[in-house]
Structure 1
Amino acid sequence: MHADSSPVLDRPHSKPAALRWRNRYAALGPAFHTRLPAQALPQPHWVATSDSAAALLGWPADWADRPDWHALEVLSGGPPWEDSEPLATVYSGHQFGVWAGQLGDGRALLLGEIDTPNGPMELQIKGGGRTPYSRMGDGRAVLRSSIREFLCSEAMHHLGIPTTRALAIVGSALPVRRETMETAAVVTRVAPSFVRFGHFEHFAHHGLPTELRALADFVIEHHYPACRDATNPYAALLEAVARRTAVLMADWQAVGFCHGVMNTDNLSILGLTIDYGPFGFLDGFDPGHVCNHSDHQGRYAYARQPGVALWNLHALAQAMLPLIAMGGEVTEATGDLALEAIEPYKAVFAGTLEARLRGKLGLATARDDDRQLADDWLALMAAERADYTITWRRLARHSPADPGAVRDLFLDRPAFDAWAERYARRLAAEGSIDAERGERMNRVNPKFVLRNHLCENAIRAAQAGDFGETRHLLKVLERPYDEQPEHSACAEFPPDWAQTLEVSCSS
């Protein structure tokens, strides 16, 4: 079913005045997507909404409850708003390093694109039923995975990390089978674009140069306009994507975030964190940590994420070779130009991560040996599996006169003391003032992250019909760098039972 099939949609709801549709991706044509309606959830109810995401869209604070908006019905897969153009996009990709062929939005529907005070934004619902790209799946999302995606999307935004946003979760009693029987839910996601590396791979692999060029021109025109005037706009686009991806990887590594399934169809062309499945934030620091129980080879381990991103950029470069050839034959020189375009990834990642680590150490100036100081600190943490978030946060309170706050986390006191002496000399060299340093560090070392056990508690409560914990946790995660003493329980060491939690691709 493609765009010219013109499926019959339920009669749409009147468009709220705040919605001004643009639907630019829909205009690309039937090779890029299939138009179809969602399959509505029966008896939907709100689980949670994000005031912050709604503000991004310029929507009124009471949007979810306004009768004239029909938001609950629309965002649960019911009749769409007038002028919405629901569609599922097609893409392909490499999964776990292996070509997986055609993929696509198997359970997601792009409702359309709207004008907002922050520029055009696409609205997408995830869990709206089968599409032609569902590959034998049911097209549904479950409450468990929807809560995880909703909370982590918003948590990452408030940590300052580029990400798709989550506007709302709608729940239903509709049964859905995964490993066990669960209930259905729909997440509404927001982003300037949901285009992935895999969209480019799809048209390149299937020998569709006209569509490949149309996609690249679309992305350049609407998202990377500075590339238009380059000698080779497509090489410039590839380089711009490589640079954004490098910054994203540095942000992930600095905060201790593991994505878990970094397939090429899960990397955003805009350098956003996208598709929250088996993710996790590090508890005890283990560079080899694999958060995805389905990743039996450890391909997407925490320490491997930067290298995987570069591998994925090579896959994107391969897909873009016909474009970089500028209408000519793909030659060795074309490949060299593509490699040259992604080469900056290495320096941008290294430089950005070094800057992030310098900030986490509270250093106000830069010295050549700062990276070694940071690497030795990370090695010390790894040797004792020190809690990643708590250890960095406590370091802000460290001083030679009062080392206990962080020193007590290490059994090897001599090793800690040796490093702390170097740290003290480095701070003294720039005339660091402990109080000022501590404030700087607390602005970049979060106190609160979405640990698996916190998410699990919210999920279990929600599955029992209590959505209060999900909403409470959202409010805490919206202020990750603040002390919030009233919510200190959310910043404590994980309980022993958290070590038994497993997340997989079904999460």
Structure 2
Amino acid sequence: MRFKQDFFTQLPGFYSQVQPLGLSNPHWLAWSQDGAQLIGLQQPDDNLLQGLAGNAKLEGARYYAQVYSGHQFGGYSPRLGDGRSIILGEAMGPDGAWDVALKGAGPTPYSRQGDGRAVMRSAVREFLVSEALHHLQVPTTRALAVIGSDLPVWRETQESAAITVRLARSHIRFGHFEYFCHSERGATAKLTQLLNFTLEQHYPHLSCDAAGYRAWFRQVVRDTARLVAHWQAVGFAHGVMNTDNMSILGDSFDFGPFAFLDTFKEDFICNHSDPEGRYAFGQQPGIGLWNLQRLAQALTPLIPSDDLIAALNSYQGELVQHYLQLMRAKLGLTPGADNQTQQDETDLQLVGELTVLMEQNQLDYTNTWRRFGSLDPGSKHSSLRDDFTHLAAFDSWFGRYQARLGQVADVPRWQAERNRVNPKYILRNYLAQEAIVAVEAGDTGPLTVLHQLLRRPFDEQPEHEAFAKRPPEWGQGLIMSCSS
């Protein structure tokens, strides 16, 4: 692994150097060869294991925790930072550099009396969701590996410590800009330094001047809107959309009590620390804008307010258009050339009415969309109809859908196209839990099977048909904690 250290060398004062504590009896629990290829690695070996477990220094690595602040459940926390994540540097791969971070390698100056450790179940969940979202074509950080140990840690009960090796195009968050905006001295100089670094590293086509800053913020708005649109389309609830969990590059980031929808519920809450539903599934588009507004406030020393407001005003349109693009693909609709505004409204209404029907009929979100891959769109007796109990409402919707769709010349091809955008397999919480229980019993086989399954979410994989079923009764509506 070849490291460069641009953040470390160019931004002193934006982090603290730390030393990982390491793990006793480290062993591989999971490994992503896809992730390894991003940073030019081949197969895992013992030297790499000891290095990523924090037991030995990796050549060229630095060890540091970044400092930032953020809004958590709406309230501003002035000093957060990496409480259980230690960054080694930017590893060079064939297509660019990726930050490598050890999540769960011990305390940092920002741990706030915590032990800086991750428990095995949370490490496994982060590994699985990182790779699952990527293969669903949702922007996300990635995961290289999970390293287990026999080190005991205490949460509600005694558990074993583990490390997720996270790969990120950048660890810069909205909260970085909030922190340096509110610092007592040199706020504008620090903000300028951070923003120029961000542009040079990740937006080299933009200049480090007023015009470049304006264009950059508009791009952040666009990328965030597109990310949230992806989440809504695949039925993903992040669970903790604090501003310190928002990537400046528009990647899914910092996974805790996430969930993919099983039975569709607009107000689904996946985090038991969020009883009021601030981060419920249906609230995510609004929270995305709220978070961008907090970022805009932090940037007022560098970007005129009128420019910030103009960019923020583009958020809803960007989100709706990208969401429409994704949902039209799921339904097999193509935008027409005439009266685009009216057609957008019609298509949004079709999507909205279908999700309402899903909720009223207590249907599985992923499986309902997958049924379009076996649908004869010209038939008056839709196979999709069998899933609905409110038949009159469905028939009315389906008639309008058929009228909008029009004649389909090649039905098998149309069906195959639906299966390329409507996944059969998602990371259901109960599947993750079953894999975790097996790992706790010393069996990593189910975890490996689930990881490989999620690498091909759109393929039939008949040998794994059971993984596409709705959850058993015990696995329905699972709500996770922030340590999950």
TM-superposed deviation, 1:383: 1.6
The code of the aligned residue for 1:423 comes to: Y
Match of 2:116 in 1: 139
Structure 1 144/388 Cα, relative in aligned 2: closer, same or farther at 3 Å? same
Among 56, 59, 70, the residue aligned to 2:41: 59
Cα RMSD, aligned residues only? 1.5
- In 1, the alpha carbon distance for the partners of 2:210 and 2:80 equals 33
Distance 1:213 1:371 in 2: 41
Aligned-residue offset at 1:271: 0.3
Kept in 2, the 8 Å contact 1:294–1:504? The answer is yes
Aligned partner (choices 139, 143, 160) of residue 166 of structure 1 = 143
Instruction: Verify: 1:489 aligned to 2:466, yes or no.
Output: yes
- Show the 5 A alignment for 1:144-159: 144-159=121-136
CA distance in 1, matches of 2:126, 2:453: 16
Question: In structure 1, which of residues 197, 209, 232 is the aligned counterpart of residue 211 of structure 2?
Answer: 232
**Is 1:42–2:27 an aligned residue pair?**
no
1:219 and 2:198 matched:
yes
What amino acid does structure 2 have at the position aligned with 1:414?
A
Structure 1 residues 194 and 305, CA gap change in structure 2 (3 angstroms): same
Indicate which of 420, 426, 435 corresponds to 2:404.
426
Q: Does 1:441 pair with 2:429?
A: no
Q: CA deviation at 1:426?
A: 2.2
Please say which of residues 281-290 and 414-423 is displaced more in the overlay.
414-423
Please state if 1:358 is matched with 2:328. Answer: yes
Q: Which residue of 2 aligns with 1:284?
A: 263
Aligned residue type for 2:438: A
Give matches, 1:245-260, under 5 Å. 245-260=224-239
* Matched letter for residue 65 of structure 2: A
Alpha-carbon distance in 1 for matches of 2:151, 2:410: 58
TM-score by length of structure 1 reads: 0.91
Pick from 370, 379, 389 the counterpart of residue 393 of structure 1: 370
Once the 2 structures are TM-superposed, how far is the Cα of residue 44 of structure 1 from its aligned partner?
A: 0.5
The residue number in structure 1 matching 2:447 is 470
Shift of 1:227: 2.5
Q: How does 1:250-399 map to 2 (within 5 A)?
A: 250-324=229-303, 334-366=304-336, 368=343, 369-399=346-376
Matches of 1:438 and 1:96, distance apart in 2: 42
1:380 Cα offset (Å): 1.3
Which residue number in structure 2 is paired with residue 85 of structure 1?
A: 62
Q: Answer whether contact 2:37 2:93 (CA < 8 A) is retained.
A: no
Give SS of 2:99's match.
strand
Unaligned runs of 5+ in 2: none
Any conservation in 2 of the 1:363–1:437 contact (CA below 8 Å)?
A: no
CA contact (8 A) 2:40 2:92 kept: no
Q: Give deviations 1:134-156, integer Å, cap 9, x for gaps.
A: 00100000000001000000000
CA distance in 2, matches of 1:45, 1:115: 25
1:404 CA displacement = 5.5
Q: Describe the SS at the equivalent of 1:148.
A: helix
* Corresponding residue SS for 1:323: coil
Question: 1:13-24 maps to which residues of 2 (within 5 A)?
Answer: 19-24=1-6
Normalising by structure 2, report the TM-score: 0.95
Decide whether aligned partners of structure 1 residues 229 and 98 sit closer, same or farther in structure 2, where only a CA change above 3 A counts: closer
Identity within the alignment, %: 47
Label 1:411 to 1:230 Cα distance change in 2 as closer, same or farther (>3 A). Answer: farther
3-state SS of 2:301 partner:
helix
Aligned equivalent of 1:327: none
Question: In the TM superposition, what is the alpha-carbon distance from 1:210 to its structure 2 partner?
Answer: 1.6
1:191 aligns with 168
Shift of residue 500, structure 1, vs aligned partner: 6.0
Structure 1 gaps of 5+ residues are 1-18, 325-333
